[in-house]
Amino acid sequence: MKPPPPLDADDAVAALSALAHPHRLAAYRLLVQAGPDGLSAGVIATRLDLPPSSLTFHLQQLCAAGLAGRRRASRMIFYAADYAAMGALVGYLTENCCGTAATCVPACDPAAAAPRASGRKSA
């Protein structure tokens, strides 16, 4: 069982596209830093100073790419980062870069990348 589910090229492009926008990247980092509980759409909109409809648009991209999940709590909707998805993306990016040893990036450290059972939610 591999915590980071194997990502294919299309998934990776989707995830990267989702992150490749200032507002979405900012929102995503907010979620990453907020932890598993996530943040409500309203809070995110306030912090990012974005109109609700624009925020929804971006949040949907993040969810569609599998980078975030949503959960309803009464009137509010909470979004939370999907850490496993990020791990999978990083894995995809660094895949095979260890073949060239010395030039490899930290995240690509074989010792850290292979054995790590941080299995988590994925929905």
Partner DNA sequence: ACGACACTTCGAGGAATGTCGTATGATCAA
Partner DNA sequence: TTGATCATACGACATTCCTCGAAGTGTCGT
List contacts with DNA (CB under 7 A): 17, 20-21, 23, 40-43, 45, 50-61, 70, 72, 74-77
Q: Look up tokens 């926008």; give the residue.
A: 21
- What number of other Cβ atoms are within 10 A of residue 109's Cβ? 12
Closest CB to DNA among residues 2, 71: 71
Q: Look up tokens 């409500």; give the residue.
A: 40
Closest CB to a second copy among residues 33, 74: 33
Query: Does 73 engage in binding with a second copy (CB under 8 A)?
Result: no
Sheet holding 76-81, edge to edge: 39-40, 76-81, 68-73
Between CA 69 and CA 62 the distance in angstroms is 8
Where does this chain bind a second copy (CB under 8 A)? 3-4, 9-10, 12-13, 16-17, 19-22, 25-26, 29, 32-33, 35-36, 81, 83-84, 86-87, 89-91, 93-97, 99-113, 116, 118, 120-123
